[in-house]
Amino acid sequence: MTDEELFDAVGTALVARGGWHYELATTPGSLPSWCLDPGGDVVVAVNVIGGKVVAYLPSSDREIALASVADLSAWLDQQEGRTRSE
C-alpha cells in the first residue's frame, strides 16, 4: 500500500469517528493531515510518513508512530477511554 492509499484509508476511518477534518499543508515541505480540533485548537494531527501512520500531539510536541489504521483506531479508543463493546 502506498503512503497515499494509507492516508486515504486513515481518512476514511477518522471521518467515520466524527469530529475529524482534512487540513491542507500550508507550509512548504509539510504534509496534509487529518485533524481533530474540538474547540478550535488541534488536539491530534494524523498523517502518513514512510508507510507508518503518525499521530502528532501538539500540546506535548510528541509523535506516535503506528503500524496500521487498526492500530491508530485502537490507540484513539484508548485515549478516549472507549472499549470494544461501545
Domain of 46 in residue numbering reads as 3-65
Q: What pTM was estimated for this model as a whole? A: 0.86
Q: Residue 79: inside a domain, yes or no?
A: no
Helix boundaries (H) for the chain = 3-17, 69-80
Q: Residue 80: inside a domain, yes or no?
A: no
Alpha-carbon Rg for the chain in angstroms: 12
Q: Residue 7: inside a domain, yes or no?
A: yes
Q: Grid coordinates standing for 47?
A: 498523517
* Helix and strand element counts for the chain (H, E): 2, 5
Could you report the per-residue pLDDT of 45-81, keeping only the tens digit for each? 999 999 999 999 999 999 999 999 999 999 999 988 7
Could you report the per-residue pLDDT of 8-44, keeping only the tens digit for each? 999 999 999 989 999 998 888 888 999 998 888 899 9
What is the DSSP-derived secondary structure letter of residue 74? H
CA 58 to chain centre: 12
Q: Residue 71: inside a domain, yes or no?
A: no
